[in-house]
């Protein structure tokens, strides 16, 4: 067993909007977190996981990012972020940040460029397809309801969004897109953060031909999850990310991996595969509800 600091760490999640409001505008902020560091230290925590504070129109609680290198006005400034990081380290606490790179906001510069023309250099940063007979390219439903495709009349094509229609999925098949993501990760790590909680990490790789999903009774859209959960190149991408970025720093990584059985989960965290340190998996949370409709209970057995 290899001893690592993160294996013995207590991690405390902060959702900044509701944590501590320093200026009495009704919204938690970065200066508010600084004010509570003594309290957090007294709790005995070792690591803070900070939910997204990046520049965002806030369509999905900050998980729709306009600029990975800037801070949402509600929370403060980059100077506040740098001061928070310094103060956290003074208390001998570490900081990990949410890394949201399955998708960006449709207001991100990359997407604005991508949608502008078929031959734009950023076109392949996102997943664009022609429609079929006046309908979307396939029958996938969005996690947030409705179709997983949004029509864009500028180029007469549809863009994939597995979540909100303002959260366009990045195309991990694009080497340039991956390199831009890795540059951004290094930028934050060079600032001194201590790792990442990687949002929806097992969605990055999609089956290339994007086939229709199975229609589930009572639902209007097909279940595309077999074609985007734990896709064909996901381990290749994570090994590349580890080689180019993660392995260069003494950090912790935890990936969010919904819909991933233990046999597959083990691949993400096997030390010899050089991918991630840990993952969040959802078997316990899902044990008592229908796999499609989480509000519909089902019988379960302890074993």
Q: Which of 199, 212, 223, 277 is catalytic?
A: 199
Question: In terms of pTM, does the model score above 0.85?
Answer: yes
Say whether 256 is catalytic.
Answer: yes
Q: How far apart (Å, rounded) are the C-alpha atoms in residues 260 and 230?
A: 7
Say which of 150, 169, 194, 256 is annotated catalytic: 256
- Residue 61, helix vs strand vs coil: coil
Q: pLDDT, tens digit, for every residue of 33-77?
A: 999 999 999 999 999 999 999 999 999 999 999 999 999 999 999
228-245: pLDDT as tens digits: 999 999 999 999 999 999
Classify the phi-psi angles of 160: left when phi > 0, otherwise alpha if psi is within -120 to 50, otherwise beta.
Answer: beta
Is the model's pLDDT at 293 over the cut of 90?
no
Question: What digits encode the pLDDT tens for the residues 158-175?
Answer: 999 999 999 999 999 999
> Residue 212 catalytic?
no
Residue 41 near residue 10 (C-beta atoms within 8 A): no
Q: 110, exposed or middle or buried, with CB in 10 Å at 0-12, 13-18, 19+?
A: middle
């Amino acid at each position: 067993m290899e001893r690592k600091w993160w294996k013995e760490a207590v991690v405390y999640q902060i959702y900044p909007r509701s944590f501590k409001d320093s200026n009495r505008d009704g919204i938690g902020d970065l200066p508010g977190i600084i004010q509570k560091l003594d309290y957090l230290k007294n709790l005995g925590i070792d690591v803070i996981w900070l939910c997204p504070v990046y520049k965002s129109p806030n369509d999905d609680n900050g998980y729709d990012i306009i600029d990975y290198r800037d801070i949402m006005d509600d929370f403060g400034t980059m100077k506040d972020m740098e001061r928070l990081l310094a103060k956290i380290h003074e208390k001998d606490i570490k900081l990990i940040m949410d890394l949201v790179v399955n998708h960006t906001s449709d207001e991100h510069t990359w997407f604005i460029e991508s949608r502008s023309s078929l031959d734009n250099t950023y076109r392949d940063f996102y997943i664009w397809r022609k429609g079929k007979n006046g309908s979307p390219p396939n029958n996938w439903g969005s996690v947030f309801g409705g179709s997983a495709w949004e029509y864009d009349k500028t180029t007469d094509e549809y863009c994939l969004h597995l979540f909100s229609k303002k959260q366009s999925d990045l195309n991990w098949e694009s080497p340039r897109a991956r390199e831009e993501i890795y540059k951004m990760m290094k930028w934050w790590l060079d600032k001194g953060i201590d790792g990442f909680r990687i949002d929806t990490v097992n969605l990055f790789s999609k089956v290339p031909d994007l086939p229709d999903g199975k229609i589930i009774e009572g639902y209007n859209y097909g279940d595309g999850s077999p074609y985007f959960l734990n896709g064909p190149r996901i381990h290749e991408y994570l090994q590349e990310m580890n080689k180019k970025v993660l392995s260069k720093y003494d950090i912790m990584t935890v990936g969010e991996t919904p819909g991933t059985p233990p046999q597959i989960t083990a691949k993400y965290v096997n030390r010899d595969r050089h991918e991630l340190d840990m993952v969040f998996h959802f078997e316990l949370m899902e044990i008592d509800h229908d796999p499609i409709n989480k509000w519909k209970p089902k019988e379960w057995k302890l074993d």
